[in-house]
Protein backbone atom coordinates (compact mmCIF):
# COMPACT_ATOMS: atom_id res chain seq x y z
CA UNK A 1 0.00 0.00 0.00
CA UNK A 2 1.37 3.40 -0.98
CA UNK A 3 1.61 5.61 2.13
CA UNK A 4 2.67 8.74 0.19
CA UNK A 5 0.60 11.82 1.14
CA UNK A 6 1.22 14.81 -1.18
CA UNK A 7 -0.50 17.22 1.24
CA UNK A 8 2.28 16.66 3.80
CA UNK A 9 5.09 17.39 1.34
CA UNK A 10 3.38 20.39 -0.33
CA UNK A 11 3.87 22.99 2.49
CA UNK A 12 7.53 21.96 2.92
CA UNK A 13 8.21 22.42 -0.76
CA UNK A 14 6.34 25.76 -0.74
CA UNK A 15 8.35 27.18 2.18
CA UNK A 16 11.66 25.87 0.82
CA UNK A 17 11.08 27.41 -2.62
CA UNK A 18 10.16 30.76 -1.06
CA UNK A 19 13.43 30.66 0.91
CA UNK A 20 15.30 30.07 -2.35
CA UNK A 21 13.78 33.18 -3.95
CA UNK A 22 10.73 31.83 -5.77
CA UNK A 23 7.96 34.43 -5.84
CA UNK A 24 5.12 32.29 -4.51
CA UNK A 25 2.08 33.43 -2.59
CA UNK A 26 -1.12 32.10 -1.11
CA UNK A 27 -2.73 31.91 -4.54
CA UNK A 28 -0.05 29.54 -5.85
CA UNK A 29 -0.34 27.35 -2.73
CA UNK A 30 -4.14 27.11 -3.04
CA UNK A 31 -3.87 26.32 -6.77
CA UNK A 32 -1.46 23.48 -6.01
CA UNK A 33 -3.79 22.08 -3.34
CA UNK A 34 -6.76 22.13 -5.70
CA UNK A 35 -4.68 20.37 -8.37
CA UNK A 36 -3.67 17.64 -5.91
CA UNK A 37 -7.28 17.22 -4.77
CA UNK A 38 -8.20 16.77 -8.44
CA UNK A 39 -6.08 13.61 -8.64
CA UNK A 40 -2.66 14.91 -9.72
CA UNK A 41 0.56 14.19 -7.81
CA UNK A 42 -0.14 10.65 -6.62
CA UNK A 43 3.56 9.89 -6.07
CA UNK A 44 6.82 11.82 -5.63
CA UNK A 45 7.60 12.03 -9.33
CA UNK A 46 4.09 13.06 -10.39
CA UNK A 47 3.89 15.65 -7.61
CA UNK A 48 7.23 17.13 -8.61
CA UNK A 49 6.19 17.46 -12.25
CA UNK A 50 2.88 19.03 -11.24
CA UNK A 51 4.51 21.65 -8.98
CA UNK A 52 7.13 22.38 -11.63
CA UNK A 53 4.37 23.22 -14.13
CA UNK A 54 2.49 25.41 -11.62
CA UNK A 55 5.37 27.26 -9.95
CA UNK A 56 8.24 27.46 -12.48
CA UNK A 57 8.14 30.05 -15.25
CA UNK A 58 11.61 29.68 -16.78
CA UNK A 59 14.26 27.05 -17.41
CA UNK A 60 16.42 28.45 -14.64
CA UNK A 61 13.60 27.99 -12.15
CA UNK A 62 12.99 24.45 -13.42
CA UNK A 63 16.65 23.56 -12.90
CA UNK A 64 16.61 25.03 -9.39
CA UNK A 65 13.33 23.28 -8.62
CA UNK A 66 14.72 19.84 -9.52
CA UNK A 67 17.69 20.25 -7.17
CA UNK A 68 15.48 21.49 -4.32
CA UNK A 69 12.93 18.75 -4.93
CA UNK A 70 15.56 15.98 -4.79
CA UNK A 71 16.93 17.37 -1.53
CA UNK A 72 13.40 17.46 -0.05
CA UNK A 73 12.77 13.86 -1.05
CA UNK A 74 16.06 12.83 0.53
CA UNK A 75 15.12 14.48 3.82
CA UNK A 76 11.47 13.44 4.00
CA UNK A 77 11.74 9.82 2.72
CA UNK A 78 12.21 7.52 5.77
CA UNK A 79 15.18 5.17 5.62
CA UNK A 80 14.46 1.46 5.82
CA UNK A 81 16.29 -0.25 8.73
CA UNK A 82 19.05 -2.65 7.70
CA UNK A 83 18.14 -6.30 8.11
CA UNK A 84 20.88 -8.53 9.48
CA UNK A 85 20.80 -12.29 8.80
CA UNK A 86 19.64 -14.30 11.79
CA UNK A 87 22.05 -16.93 13.02
CA UNK A 88 20.78 -20.52 13.02
CA UNK A 89 20.17 -22.17 16.41
CA UNK A 90 23.24 -23.69 17.98
CA UNK A 91 23.36 -27.46 18.30
CA UNK A 92 24.08 -29.28 21.59
CA UNK A 93 27.43 -30.62 20.32
CA UNK A 94 28.56 -27.12 19.49
CA UNK A 95 27.64 -25.90 22.98
CA UNK A 96 29.61 -28.81 24.50
CA UNK A 97 32.74 -27.93 22.54
CA UNK A 98 32.44 -24.31 23.66
CA UNK A 99 32.15 -25.31 27.33
CA UNK A 100 35.24 -27.57 27.06
CA UNK A 101 37.20 -24.77 25.49
CA UNK A 102 36.29 -22.46 28.36
CA UNK A 103 37.61 -25.00 30.92
CA UNK A 104 41.10 -25.11 29.31
CA UNK A 105 43.89 -23.10 31.04
CA UNK A 106 44.47 -19.69 29.58
CA UNK A 107 47.18 -19.53 26.99
CA UNK A 108 50.09 -17.13 27.10
CA UNK A 109 49.03 -13.68 26.10
CA UNK A 110 50.68 -12.20 23.09
CA UNK A 111 50.93 -8.53 22.27
CA UNK A 112 48.89 -7.86 19.20
CA UNK A 113 49.41 -4.57 17.45
CA UNK A 114 46.31 -2.97 16.00
CA UNK A 115 46.47 -2.47 12.30
CA UNK A 116 45.41 1.04 11.45
CA UNK A 117 43.16 1.11 8.40
CA UNK A 118 44.41 3.31 5.61
CA UNK A 119 42.07 6.10 4.61
CA UNK A 120 40.27 5.55 1.36
CA UNK A 121 40.18 8.27 -1.28
CA UNK A 122 36.68 9.53 -2.10
CA UNK A 123 35.58 11.53 -5.11
CA UNK A 124 34.91 15.25 -4.59
CA UNK A 125 31.30 16.20 -5.46
CA UNK A 126 31.13 18.64 -8.36
CA UNK A 127 28.04 20.80 -8.83
CA UNK A 128 26.99 21.49 -12.38
CA UNK A 129 27.08 25.19 -13.35
CA UNK A 130 23.70 26.98 -13.56
CA UNK A 131 22.06 27.21 -16.94
CA UNK A 132 21.91 30.81 -18.12
CA UNK A 133 19.10 31.89 -20.40
CA UNK A 134 19.58 34.90 -22.62
CA UNK A 135 17.00 37.66 -22.76
CA UNK A 136 15.18 36.57 -19.62
CA UNK A 137 12.39 38.98 -18.77
CA UNK A 138 13.01 40.38 -15.27
CA UNK A 139 10.80 43.45 -15.61
CA UNK A 140 8.85 44.53 -12.54
CA UNK A 141 5.49 46.22 -12.29
CA UNK A 142 5.75 49.98 -12.05
CA UNK A 143 3.89 51.79 -9.27
CA UNK A 144 1.21 54.20 -10.49
CA UNK A 145 1.14 57.57 -8.72
CA UNK A 146 -1.41 59.92 -10.34
CA UNK A 147 -0.46 62.89 -8.12
CA UNK A 148 1.99 63.56 -5.32
CA UNK A 149 1.23 64.97 -1.89
CA UNK A 150 3.59 67.89 -2.52
CA UNK A 151 1.63 68.83 -5.62
CA UNK A 152 -1.61 68.80 -3.61
CA UNK A 153 -0.15 71.20 -1.05
CA UNK A 154 0.94 73.55 -3.83
CA UNK A 155 -2.44 73.49 -5.63
CA UNK A 156 -4.48 74.19 -2.48
CA UNK A 157 -2.72 77.55 -2.10
CA UNK A 158 -4.77 78.93 -5.00
CA UNK A 159 -8.12 78.28 -3.28
CA UNK A 160 -8.36 81.63 -1.51
CA UNK A 161 -11.09 84.16 -0.69
CA UNK A 162 -9.27 86.74 1.43
CA UNK A 163 -11.34 88.99 3.69
CA UNK A 164 -9.72 91.70 5.86
CA UNK A 165 -11.47 90.87 9.13
CA UNK A 166 -8.57 89.76 11.28
CA UNK A 167 -6.67 91.62 13.96
CA UNK A 168 -5.37 95.09 13.06
CA UNK A 169 -1.62 94.45 13.11
CA UNK A 170 -0.55 94.86 9.46
CA UNK A 171 1.35 98.07 8.71
CA UNK A 172 -0.40 100.16 6.05
CA UNK A 173 2.54 101.91 4.44
CA UNK A 174 0.53 103.82 1.82
CA UNK A 175 -1.92 105.22 4.38
CA UNK A 176 0.91 106.13 6.77
CA UNK A 177 2.80 108.04 4.06
CA UNK A 178 -0.36 109.78 2.90
CA UNK A 179 -1.19 110.89 6.46
CA UNK A 180 2.33 112.22 7.06
CA UNK A 181 2.28 114.09 3.72
CA UNK A 182 -1.10 115.62 4.46
CA UNK A 183 -0.16 116.76 7.97
CA UNK A 184 3.38 117.78 7.13
CA UNK A 185 4.89 115.68 9.89
CA UNK A 186 4.86 112.07 11.11
CA UNK A 187 2.90 111.18 14.25
CA UNK A 188 2.23 107.42 14.31
CA UNK A 189 1.90 104.53 11.82
CA UNK A 190 -1.43 103.35 10.50
CA UNK A 191 -2.43 99.70 10.57
CA UNK A 192 -5.00 97.64 8.69
CA UNK A 193 -6.70 94.39 9.50
CA UNK A 194 -5.08 91.07 8.68
CA UNK A 195 -6.65 89.15 5.81
CA UNK A 196 -8.08 85.70 6.45
CA UNK A 197 -9.01 83.02 3.93
CA UNK A 198 -12.80 82.62 4.02
CA UNK A 199 -13.00 79.97 1.31
CA UNK A 200 -15.45 77.23 2.28
CA UNK A 201 -14.53 73.80 0.87
CA UNK A 202 -16.85 70.77 0.78
CA UNK A 203 -15.06 67.50 -0.07
CA UNK A 204 -17.20 64.53 -1.14
CA UNK A 205 -15.14 61.34 -1.42
CA UNK A 206 -16.16 57.99 -2.90
CA UNK A 207 -15.07 55.23 -0.50
CA UNK A 208 -14.51 51.45 -0.80
CA UNK A 209 -15.35 49.30 -3.81
CA UNK A 210 -13.52 50.35 -6.95
CA UNK A 211 -12.05 53.35 -5.10
CA UNK A 212 -10.11 51.16 -2.64
CA UNK A 213 -6.80 51.38 -4.60
CA UNK A 214 -7.03 55.19 -4.42
CA UNK A 215 -7.68 55.54 -0.68
CA UNK A 216 -4.16 56.79 -0.13
CA UNK A 217 -4.64 59.71 -2.52
CA UNK A 218 -8.04 60.53 -1.02
CA UNK A 219 -6.45 60.57 2.43
CA UNK A 220 -3.64 62.84 1.21
CA UNK A 221 -6.18 65.15 -0.38
CA UNK A 222 -8.05 65.47 2.93
CA UNK A 223 -4.94 65.93 5.08
CA UNK A 224 -3.36 68.55 2.84
CA UNK A 225 -6.61 70.53 2.67
CA UNK A 226 -6.99 70.49 6.46
CA UNK A 227 -3.44 70.93 7.71
CA UNK A 228 -1.14 72.01 4.86
CA UNK A 229 -3.12 74.72 3.08
CA UNK A 230 -4.21 78.28 3.73
CA UNK A 231 -7.77 77.09 4.35
CA UNK A 232 -9.15 77.37 7.86
CA UNK A 233 -9.86 73.86 9.25
CA UNK A 234 -13.33 74.88 10.39
CA UNK A 235 -14.08 75.93 6.80
CA UNK A 236 -13.33 72.45 5.40
CA UNK A 237 -16.21 69.92 5.51
CA UNK A 238 -15.50 66.30 4.53
CA UNK A 239 -18.10 63.63 3.81
CA UNK A 240 -17.93 60.15 2.28
CA UNK A 241 -20.25 58.04 0.14
CA UNK A 242 -20.21 54.73 -1.72
CA UNK A 243 -20.60 54.79 -5.53
CA UNK A 244 -23.38 57.41 -5.59
CA UNK A 245 -24.28 60.05 -2.96
CA UNK A 246 -27.75 59.12 -1.75
CA UNK A 247 -30.13 60.66 0.78
CA UNK A 248 -27.39 60.50 3.41
CA UNK A 249 -23.61 60.88 3.50
CA UNK A 250 -21.08 59.58 6.00
CA UNK A 251 -18.72 61.41 8.34
CA UNK A 252 -16.08 58.63 8.60
CA UNK A 253 -14.08 56.53 6.17
CA UNK A 254 -15.71 53.33 7.43
CA UNK A 255 -19.20 54.56 6.43
CA UNK A 256 -20.62 53.96 9.92
CA UNK A 257 -21.70 57.51 10.87
CA UNK A 258 -24.48 58.60 8.48
CA UNK A 259 -25.67 62.17 8.23
CA UNK A 260 -28.68 63.41 6.19
CA UNK A 261 -27.78 65.10 2.93
CA UNK A 262 -29.74 68.23 3.84
CA UNK A 263 -27.80 68.53 7.10
CA UNK A 264 -24.48 68.14 5.30
CA UNK A 265 -25.41 70.87 2.82
CA UNK A 266 -26.93 73.23 5.39
CA UNK A 267 -23.74 75.30 5.69
CA UNK A 268 -23.35 75.72 1.90
CA UNK A 269 -24.02 78.97 0.07
CA UNK A 270 -23.31 80.36 -3.36
CA UNK A 271 -19.62 80.82 -2.49
CA UNK A 272 -19.04 77.26 -1.25
CA UNK A 273 -16.52 75.26 -3.28
CA UNK A 274 -17.50 71.60 -3.79
CA UNK A 275 -14.99 68.98 -4.97
CA UNK A 276 -16.18 65.42 -5.70
CA UNK A 277 -13.65 62.56 -5.91
CA UNK A 278 -14.94 59.38 -7.58
CA UNK A 279 -14.23 57.13 -10.56
CA UNK A 280 -17.84 57.46 -11.72
CA UNK A 281 -17.94 53.81 -12.84
CA UNK A 282 -14.82 54.10 -15.03
CA UNK A 283 -12.76 51.69 -12.89
CA UNK A 284 -14.98 48.70 -13.70
CA UNK A 285 -15.58 49.87 -17.26
CA UNK A 286 -19.34 49.70 -17.53
CA UNK A 287 -22.21 52.12 -18.10
CA UNK A 288 -25.08 51.83 -15.62
CA UNK A 289 -28.21 53.87 -16.23
CA UNK A 290 -29.27 53.68 -12.58
CA UNK A 291 -25.99 55.22 -11.46
CA UNK A 292 -26.19 57.98 -14.07
CA UNK A 293 -29.71 58.94 -12.99
CA UNK A 294 -28.81 58.99 -9.28
CA UNK A 295 -25.68 61.07 -9.91
CA UNK A 296 -27.61 63.51 -12.12
CA UNK A 297 -30.23 64.01 -9.41
CA UNK A 298 -27.52 64.59 -6.82
CA UNK A 299 -25.71 67.16 -8.99
CA UNK A 300 -28.95 69.09 -9.51
CA UNK A 301 -29.37 69.28 -5.73
CA UNK A 302 -25.84 70.65 -5.34
CA UNK A 303 -26.37 73.29 -8.02
CA UNK A 304 -29.25 74.73 -6.00
CA UNK A 305 -26.65 75.86 -3.47
CA UNK A 306 -23.61 76.75 -5.58
CA UNK A 307 -22.22 76.56 -9.09
CA UNK A 308 -18.63 76.08 -7.90
CA UNK A 309 -18.56 72.30 -8.43
CA UNK A 310 -15.77 70.15 -9.87
CA UNK A 311 -15.14 66.40 -10.12
CA UNK A 312 -11.78 64.59 -9.80
CA UNK A 313 -11.59 61.15 -11.43
CA UNK A 314 -8.61 58.95 -10.45
CA UNK A 315 -8.93 56.91 -13.65
CA UNK A 316 -7.18 58.15 -16.84
CA UNK A 317 -9.44 60.05 -19.20
CA UNK A 318 -9.12 57.36 -21.88
CA UNK A 319 -10.82 54.91 -19.51
CA UNK A 320 -13.98 57.04 -19.29
CA UNK A 321 -15.09 56.07 -22.81
CA UNK A 322 -18.14 53.84 -22.76
CA UNK A 323 -18.70 54.16 -19.00
CA UNK A 324 -20.98 56.15 -16.73
CA UNK A 325 -18.15 58.66 -16.22
CA UNK A 326 -18.37 59.70 -19.88
CA UNK A 327 -21.99 60.80 -19.40
CA UNK A 328 -21.36 62.44 -16.02
CA UNK A 329 -18.44 64.42 -17.51
CA UNK A 330 -20.98 66.32 -19.63
CA UNK A 331 -22.93 67.38 -16.53
CA UNK A 332 -20.11 68.63 -14.31
CA UNK A 333 -16.51 69.78 -14.66
CA UNK A 334 -14.68 66.43 -14.50
CA UNK A 335 -10.90 66.21 -14.60
CA UNK A 336 -8.34 63.47 -14.29
CA UNK A 337 -6.60 63.25 -10.91
CA UNK A 338 -3.16 64.52 -11.89
CA UNK A 339 -1.31 67.83 -11.55
CA UNK A 340 -3.17 69.56 -14.38
CA UNK A 341 -6.50 68.03 -13.42
CA UNK A 342 -6.32 69.19 -9.80
CA UNK A 343 -5.18 72.64 -10.91
CA UNK A 344 -8.15 72.96 -13.31
CA UNK A 345 -10.58 71.65 -10.70
CA UNK A 346 -9.42 74.22 -8.14
CA UNK A 347 -9.76 76.96 -10.75
CA UNK A 348 -13.38 75.90 -11.27
CA UNK A 349 -14.32 75.80 -7.58
CA UNK A 350 -12.74 79.21 -6.97
CA UNK A 351 -14.80 80.79 -9.73
CA UNK A 352 -12.52 80.82 -12.78
CA UNK A 353 -14.45 80.62 -16.09
CA UNK A 354 -12.93 77.43 -17.56
CA UNK A 355 -14.73 75.22 -20.11
CA UNK A 356 -15.92 72.04 -18.44
CA UNK A 357 -18.37 70.32 -20.78
CA UNK A 358 -16.08 67.90 -22.54
CA UNK A 359 -15.82 64.29 -23.58
CA UNK A 360 -12.79 61.99 -23.83
CA UNK A 361 -13.70 61.51 -27.49
CA UNK A 362 -13.02 65.15 -28.28
Output the DSSP codes for 152-176.
HHHHHTT---EEEEEEEEEE-HHHH
Please give the model's pTM, rounded to 2 decimal places.
Answer: 0.57
Among 74, 104, 129, which residue terminates a domain? 74
Residues 131 and 148: their CA atoms lie apart, in Å, by 43
Residues 216 and 343 in one domain: yes
Contacts of 205 (CB under 8 A, 6+ apart): 211, 218, 221, 222, 238, 239, 240, 241, 277, 278
**235 belongs to a structural domain:** yes
CATH classification of the domain holding 292: 3.40.50
- Domains contained in the chain, number: 3
Residues 347 and 272: their CA atoms lie apart, in Å, by 13
Give the Å distances, CA to CA, from 68 to 46, 109, 155, 330. 15, 57, 55, 60
Among 24, 53, 74, which residue terminates a domain? 74
**For every one of its 362 residues, what pLDDT tens digit does the chain have, with 9 covering 90 and above?**
456 777 778 888 888 888 888 888 888 888 888 888 877 777 888 888 888 888 888 888 888 888 888 888 887 765 554 444 454 455 566 565 655 555 555 544 444 455 555 555 555 555 555 554 444 444 455 556 789 999 999 999 999 998 888 888 889 899 999 989 998 888 889 888 888 889 999 999 999 999 999 999 999 999 999 999 999 999 999 999 999 998 899 999 999 999 999 999 999 999 999 999 999 999 999 899 999 999 999 999 999 999 999 999 999 999 999 999 999 999 999 999 999 999 999 999 999 876 544 444 44
Residues 206 and 340 in one domain: yes
Range of the domain at 18: 6-74
Residues 45 and 178 in one domain: no
Among 35, 57, 74, which residue terminates a domain? 74
H helix intervals, 134-248: 149-156, 173-183, 215-227
Residues 168 and 195: their CA atoms lie apart, in Å, by 9
Strand order in the sheet with 248-250: 258-260, 248-250, 236-241, 200-206, 272-277, 309-313, 333-336
Amino acid sequence: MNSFNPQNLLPRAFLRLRQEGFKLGVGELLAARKTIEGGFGEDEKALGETLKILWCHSRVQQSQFEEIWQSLLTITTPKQPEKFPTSPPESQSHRKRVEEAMELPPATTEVVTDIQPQPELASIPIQSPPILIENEDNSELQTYYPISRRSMVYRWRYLRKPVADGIMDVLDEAATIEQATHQGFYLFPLYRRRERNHAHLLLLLDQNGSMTPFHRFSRDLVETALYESSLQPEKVDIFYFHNVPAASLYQDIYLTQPIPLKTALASCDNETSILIVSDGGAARGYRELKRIRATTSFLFQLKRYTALIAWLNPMPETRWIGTSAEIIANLVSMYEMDDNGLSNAIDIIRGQPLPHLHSPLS
